[in-house]
Amino acid sequence: MKKTVTSLADGRELIYYDIADDIVRDAVDRRPLDAVSTSSEVRRDALLGDSVAIASHRQGRTYHPPADECPLCPSEDGRLSEIPDSHYDVAVFENRFPSLAGDAGRCEVVCFTSDHSASFADLTGEQAAVVLEAWTDRTADLAELDQVTQVFCFENRGAEIGVTLGHPHGQVYGYPFVTPRTELMLRSAREHREETGRNLFDDVVARELTDGDRVVLSGEHWVAFVPYAAHWPYEVHLYPRHRVADLRDLGEAARTEFPQIYLELLRRFDRIFGPAEPPTPYISAWHQAPFRVPGREDFALHLELFTIRRTSGKLKFLAGSESGMSAFINDVPPEAAAQRLREVASE
């Protein structure tokens, strides 16, 4: 893989990750762009103890443009986009409308392919491996920034999720704080260590492997299962069998096997509700240990993949209990969800 770092017309960083080592990236962004101006700030909620990003400038971000005006497609035929070159494998750039910026963190866009009509599940294993390398590299680079405490690599797919650009892409957030969900995991891991002397994440994975009912698929280096107390109708957690804190620590064998496992998971998600249904909307989220915090060594890198579609033509909306009290009610038993995901395995 070859990494090429350049800049866009307004000074934002653009990085190409290419399969071929001999490719040359010398295209120049010719757009007359003004310097990016943001109003991002982070405020602390005194009652809940968590942080909220206030980013009013995002009201003007690009919203559902037609395919021939997609800002994530390559620049060609006189149409200029966020990607100056006419083709790319994987491209990452600083978000023009970031939720977090400056001392309040950093936001980046990850374009998985230059093919506008594709999805992550359409990628080859080689292409998916480059995306994994890009996620890992961004984690490593952002870890060096003083204002970044935690790196979150994720993909939102589908209009039902709230995606405003149809091109296959994800994002990387560099938070200036530890996110509430991670705080809860760290607290649970600490309490489990104090009570049992063991690692919580190791025990969770061991339990799922022993029970077996919720395991969706497994390989030599990865295991995917529906969690015992799944919040979402169809939710899968993907863990490396050898616990590591973040993407930087994955071994070569796990990196090699990842595309095969992950692509199969995504393809199964698209088959859950049958061929008559549109592609399954989902969120795919990497959970990584935050930096420079107590208990980091007990955290386990893992990916959580879930959909808000609960059955054919119906979505799982966050109603009073979920939105008002963060108390989830799941209509699909985790064992039934796992069975369905095993039934739709690739032949």
Active site residues: 169
DSSP states of 214-280: TEEEE-SSEEEE--TT-SSSEEEEEEESS--SSGGG--HHHHHHHHHHHHHHHHHHHHTT-TTSPPP
* Token pair for 53: 């990003």
Q: Which residues pair with 285 in a beta bridge?
A: 154, 304
- Binding-site residues, in ranges, read 70, 73, 116, 167
What pairs with residue 283 in β-bridges? 156, 306
Rg, C-alpha atoms of the chain: 20
Tokens 């704080």 sit on residue: 177
Amino acid at 124: T
Cβ–Cβ < 8 Å for 173, 179: no
Cα Dmax for the chain: 64
Cα separation of 309 and 287, whole Å? 22
Residues making up the binding site for Zn(2+): 70, 73, 116, 167
Q: 3-state SS of the chain: helix, strand, coil percent to 5?
A: 30, 25, 45
Bridge partners, residue 76, by sequence:
79
Tokens encoding 252: 């070569």
Angle at 175 between CA 170 and CA 181, to 5 degrees: 85
